[in-house]
Chains A and B, each alone.
Chain A
């Protein structure tokens, strides 16, 4: 339609902004059985956007070949889904929230033949700025909301303004047709310094608790508004991580001053910078987004089962990147993580970030990813998928059809894999298997 381009591009914006998140691949590699099990039946799920509409493609091998967006298996009613993938139970969850309107979330699974099929539709009634998996749930969160009392009345602060410290979590039950529960908790002073908090990222500890990074800020200025959930950052040189149980009871707070907050911010989004390595330890990164922070971009560690940051562990990543800060973090395999780095040493307001590197958090090494398009040629990237020790990373370059790039974490070298013609971007890739 002649006038629909603006809409469509804004849908794409949402897709691009949201479509990447760090997530934890609950690995099956720790299986003690020496005999490798035959690979489960399944397929790769690719979400790709055409001129404005998002489609789903089913692919067997993303490492080679070419397919067309017209080979899609489904045209989506809404565009701009953020797709996230869980391995156990294996599912793809499409999250969407439209400006001012709820969205219809989608679930996909692999059937007994390994083919992808829609497994449910569910309503997403609140905005979300962070998301992940916990236990049998897909979990979304948004901060900066006004908590209400039992009668639905807004809670007010001392000045009579609506409080803005509420955080709304949505739990979507992967084993029960995405049945959802919504809960809003207040965060005022949970860090003990009178501030409110916005969660960023979700890491399942496997013991009935999850960790989330906190962006700790002043309450939002009620007169100035702000698309972000947070207010002014008073403590830019500290990092906080909260542990919650399934009922959103706060179990403990982790705090450290060696890095700034752990979140990659872009517009209203809070990208996760917290992820679990294969050894079960959680790495808490900070991309040092906040312009007032004096701490370089780096990473700390919370050892499995620990109640405090590992005081003996610190890795100054910014020193190894030549001063570049980063926005997104994804776990690849073992100790390897993929980073998305800003293109400017001082990140610009527009937040251009099309450089990529691989860090080894144990070896404390950093390597730029090679074999991908130059940073000034990349127009879009999508959510990558780790598979068999490699990372499948969707990249769209100028004047080229989008493709899956296969990154080897030990060398940080990439090769071009599957190309999807007719797409303007590949929003996400993930593997689904029949459980």
Chain B
């Protein structure tokens, strides 16, 4: 485990430098380690030095030693990412030049077009996972409101079911509303990996446009990380992380809570309750029914580093969420009593064993089960307006009367096996089986919209197997190839009647297909890396698409999967001059050719709706990121994304010429970016204390909501917002106070048409971090 120490010894030092860097994409670089008397790593110093001398003579040996991401990352990175946090540490060494890779850096050195967000650098902020992702090139998070509101991720223009979300390699589908990117704080994550277009086999899923993998903190040490923040709109957030280990046994506990009234001001039309007519002009109103809170806890316990298991871990996560619903998809439609609740419980098991039966044969098995219950309530017989006034109505429900409950159950088992042969060949196999079922439990509550089929079960069993091979002939380049096989079996009710009287029958349909991909990376000269990757990716039809919506729709067993040819090419450069100036640059080109979208169509000649494959969209885009560091004092960085996403389908499904042929895809941001800067005053008011000032800018160019050639004039306006923060970190990061101001200029911000986001807000955060 010497190697672990190399990493862990240096990661904190590196992180300290940018402990409040809002854009945690850290370059690896030579580092001068100061000598002083406060030596937490002293016993390791000699072995560390030896290790470094032995392995790190050549700067890029380290890269190759650690860059087994394609195949071994799930095991290797778990063990090696076992570090934690922004804990500051001073290493007792003579001046040595060390080049070591954190997991974040190692991931970037793979041939995938992947970005790893170092969550450790963000833990003094009040960000959730989705806001952390919003600062990644190629990624745009689109929110419908304030804390806890719905957020949708757009990854190179893909969104919805084309982007799959994982936690520790397990799919989060079915975890329910109480666990989603928008309400999980960054505290739980060690890092967040964003795979653009080409997804490793370990993340077994039919991810057409990419995947996001949240890697949770896995430290096997004793640590406490507790924080509380309070901010505008009566927002409270707290988080407690605790972990300890002894004699190979370890326990970790994490709990967090978010609470907000979200009573920010919005500008919209007023409904006259007397006449039910809208005002002609917009007025400012304070949101009055948008309270949100969620609470969640995870406990993990297990053994590590035993002869029979490198890790065996049991885990239980519980969470719940309650959200008032203030408005509909048009903000002028306002509610005063609707709400939504969600609860989830997720037990999980994980087992890892290296050198199983044979040297270099590693096994990992994970399993989880999730039960999520979602509940929608709309029972008030009232009509509200934006002043919070209401009048009584003669029927129940502000929108549609419901007390509906929906249960989702999801079981997933993932197994990965990899084998390293003779140093140059790495084989890997991964299989993920997921079984998803959905059932509506409350018959009376859903009476208005339901049919008899509403209460029949629906299941979706999916199996994705992947096999990959990686060839590493030299330390200058490596290449890999993989194949994936997808299989889905769905069961559900279908209307088999040929007359106007519906007759339901449960039917089963299966579907399978295969995909493949390749990747390669080259390190031609010091500081430079080139990489390219390709995947033929698929998304399988869902149960609705195969079955229809069980009333007047027909599914189509002849559907093809949605498919996309995804191509990436990246070039990156990093260098340190005079041991104080560091630069990092990365440019990526992406190409996506996506076809056979599964679309619901309705044609009067056929009556009810049906699903068909149609459409072709091409995306040619570029992500650029550049970053400069001045020692541990100053950093400045920026990333920008431009994507030219256009409809390349000339004809409608029935053969009509399309007016929007070659139009830019509507309602998708296509030009956006971030700028950040950070300035640290080290040893401010005492040794080991850091005062840092941070700034972040977010820009999204305006875009059309509808096809431009149709002559639509609805635009989502340009968004330019500025955030700033001040952090004072004491006792080498043990005590932290951060003050944040978001949207300083109080811009009116929209990610989606009509749905206004919060204006200027302030928060203060206290954090205690202890690490042994």
Contacts of B392 in A (CB 8 A): 152
> Which residue on chain B has the smallest CB distance to residue A220?
B447
> Which residue on chain B has the smallest CB distance to residue A340?
B604
B357 lies within 8 A of chain A by Cβ: no
Q: In the assembly, what is the distance between CA of A3 and CA of B449, in Å?
A: 24
Q: List 20 A-B contacts (CB under 8 A).
A: A1-B665, A9-B602, A99-B449, A101-B329, A102-B333, A121-B277, A127-B448, A147-B394, A154-B396, A177-B277, A182-B394, A183-B394, A223-B443, A225-B446, A225-B454, A349-B495, A349-B499, A354-B605, A422-B658, A424-B652
Which DSSP category, helix, strand, loop or mixed, fits chain A's interface?
loop
B359 lies within 8 A of chain A by Cβ: no
> Which residue on chain B has the smallest CB distance to residue A72?
B711
Q: In the assembly, what is the distance between CA of A178 and CA of B274, in Å?
A: 11
A50 lies within 8 A of chain B by Cβ: yes
A38 lies within 8 A of chain B by Cβ: no
Q: Does the CB pair A9–B599 fall under 8 Å?
A: yes
Contacts of A346 in B (CB 8 A): 498-499
Q: Does the CB pair B333–A227 fall under 8 Å?
A: no
Q: Which listed residue (A2, A69, A100, A120) contacts B158, Cβ 8 A?
A: A2
Q: Does the CB pair A349–B608 fall under 8 Å?
A: yes
Q: In the assembly, what is the distance between CA of A351 and CA of B604, in Å?
A: 8
A357 to chain B, nearest CB (A): 16
B54 lies within 8 A of chain A by Cβ: no
Interface flags for B161-200 (1: CB within 8 Å of A; 0: not) read 1100000000000000000000000000000000000000
Q: Does the CB pair A125–B393 fall under 8 Å?
A: yes
> Which residue on chain A has the smallest CB distance to residue B611?
A6
Q: Which listed residue (B209, B272, B275, B381) contacts A148, Cβ 8 A?
A: B381
A174 to chain B, nearest CB (A): 12
Q: Does the CB pair B754–A2 fall under 8 Å?
A: no
> Which residue on chain A has the smallest CB distance to residue B380?
A152
Contacts of A26 in B (CB 8 A): none
Contacts of B495 in A (CB 8 A): 349
B563 lies within 8 A of chain A by Cβ: no
B601 lies within 8 A of chain A by Cβ: yes
Contacts of A312 in B (CB 8 A): none
B759 lies within 8 A of chain A by Cβ: no
Q: Which listed residue (B157, B276, B395, B449) contacts A100, Cβ 8 A?
A: B449
CB under 8 Å from chain B, chain A span 257-314: 265, 267, 289-291
Most buried by B among A123, A164, A222, A347: A123
A247 to chain B, nearest CB (A): 14
Q: Does the CB pair A226–B381 fall under 8 Å?
A: no
Q: Does the CB pair A77–B605 fall under 8 Å?
A: no
Contacts of B753 in A (CB 8 A): 77
Q: Does the CB pair A179–B276 fall under 8 Å?
A: yes
A12 lies within 8 A of chain B by Cβ: yes
B399 lies within 8 A of chain A by Cβ: yes
A365 lies within 8 A of chain B by Cβ: no
Interface flags for B369-389 (1: CB within 8 Å of A; 0: not) read 000000000101111000000
Q: Does the CB pair A50–B381 fall under 8 Å?
A: no
Report which B residues bind A (CB closer than 8 A): 157-162, 209, 269, 271-272, 274-278, 328-330, 332-333, 378, 380-383, 392-396, 398-402, 443-444, 446-452, 454-455, 495, 497-502, 551-552, 554, 594, 597, 599-609, 615, 617, 651-652, 654-656, 658-660, 665-668, 705-707, 709-714, 753-754
Most buried by B among A78, A347, A422: A422
Q: In the assembly, what is the distance between CA of A75 and CA of B715, in Å?
A: 11
Contacts of A319 in B (CB 8 A): none
Contacts of B599 in A (CB 8 A): 5-6, 9
> Which residue on chain A has the smallest CB distance to residue B667?
A1
Q: Does the CB pair A5–B600 fall under 8 Å?
A: yes
Give the A-B pair count, Cβ closer than 8 A.
273
A218 to chain B, nearest CB (A): 15
Contacts of A164 in B (CB 8 A): 447
Contacts of B161 in A (CB 8 A): 3
Contacts of B617 in A (CB 8 A): 2
Q: Does the CB pair B602–A13 fall under 8 Å?
A: yes
Q: In the assembly, what is the distance between CA of A348 and CA of B552, in Å?
A: 10
CB under 8 Å from chain B, chain A span 352-370: 352-354
A267 to chain B, nearest CB (A): 6
Contacts of A415 in B (CB 8 A): none
Contacts of B754 in A (CB 8 A): 77
A68-B659, A227-B450 given as contacts; is B607 within 8 A of A75 (CB)?
A: no
A146 lies within 8 A of chain B by Cβ: yes
Contacts of B159 in A (CB 8 A): 1-3
A139 lies within 8 A of chain B by Cβ: no
Interface flags for A214-255 (1: CB within 8 Å of B; 0: not) read 000000101111110000000000000000000000000000
Residues of A in contact, count (CB < 8 Å): 94
Q: Does the CB pair A2–B665 fall under 8 Å?
A: yes
Q: Does the CB pair A75–B712 fall under 8 Å?
A: yes
A104-B332, A225-B443 given as contacts; is B667 within 8 A of A122 (CB)?
A: no
Q: Does the CB pair A2–B396 fall under 8 Å?
A: no
A13-B602, A349-B552 given as contacts; is B615 within 8 A of A5 (CB)?
A: yes
Q: Does the CB pair B395–A146 fall under 8 Å?
A: yes
Q: Does the CB pair A104–B393 fall under 8 Å?
A: no
A1-B667, A2-B597, A422-B710 given as contacts; is B277 within 8 A of A399 (CB)?
A: no
11 further contact pairs, Cβ within 8 A, besides A9-B609, A349-B498, A350-B552: A1-B668, A2-B159, A70-B709, A121-B269, A152-B396, A222-B447, A224-B452, A225-B448, A225-B454, A227-B451, A380-B603
Q: In the assembly, what is the distance between CA of A353 and CA of B454, in Å?
A: 27
A377 lies within 8 A of chain B by Cβ: yes
Contacts of A3 in B (CB 8 A): 159-162
Contacts of A71 in B (CB 8 A): 711
Contacts of A380 in B (CB 8 A): 603-604
Most buried by A among B271, B395, B454: B395
CB under 8 Å from chain B, chain A span 334-354: 343, 346-354
A161-B444, A227-B449, A350-B552 given as contacts; is B608 within 8 A of A4 (CB)?
A: no
Q: Does the CB pair A101–B606 fall under 8 Å?
A: no
Q: Does the CB pair B603–A379 fall under 8 Å?
A: yes
Q: Report the 7 A-B pairs with minimum CB-CB distance, sorted nearest first.
A: A350-B607, A399-B655, A422-B659, A70-B711, A225-B450, A179-B275, A3-B160
A345 to chain B, nearest CB (A): 11
Contacts of A125 in B (CB 8 A): 276, 383, 393, 398
Q: Does the CB pair B501–A16 fall under 8 Å?
A: no
Contacts of A290 in B (CB 8 A): 500
Q: Does the CB pair A5–B605 fall under 8 Å?
A: no
Q: In the assembly, what is the distance between CA of A9 and CA of B330, in Å?
A: 19
Contacts of A104 in B (CB 8 A): 278, 330, 332-333
Q: Does the CB pair B706–A75 fall under 8 Å?
A: yes
> Which residue on chain A has the smallest CB distance to residue B440?
A225
Q: Does the CB pair A379–B452 fall under 8 Å?
A: no
Q: Which listed residue (A55, A144, A168, A220) contacts B712, Cβ 8 A?
A: A55
Q: Which listed residue (B158, B552, B615) contacts A351, Cβ 8 A?
A: B552
A12 to chain B, nearest CB (A): 6
Q: In the assembly, what is the distance between CA of A296 and CA of B708, in Å?
A: 50
Q: Does the CB pair B447–A379 fall under 8 Å?
A: no
B468 to chain A, nearest CB (A): 27
Contacts of B158 in A (CB 8 A): 2
Q: In the assembly, what is the distance between CA of A360 and CA of B505, in Å?
A: 44
> Which residue on chain B has the smallest CB distance to residue A6?
B600
Contacts of A68 in B (CB 8 A): 659, 711
Q: Does the CB pair B502–A349 fall under 8 Å?
A: yes
B324 to chain A, nearest CB (A): 15
> Which residue on chain B has the smallest CB distance to residue A152?
B381
Q: Does the CB pair B396–A400 fall under 8 Å?
A: no
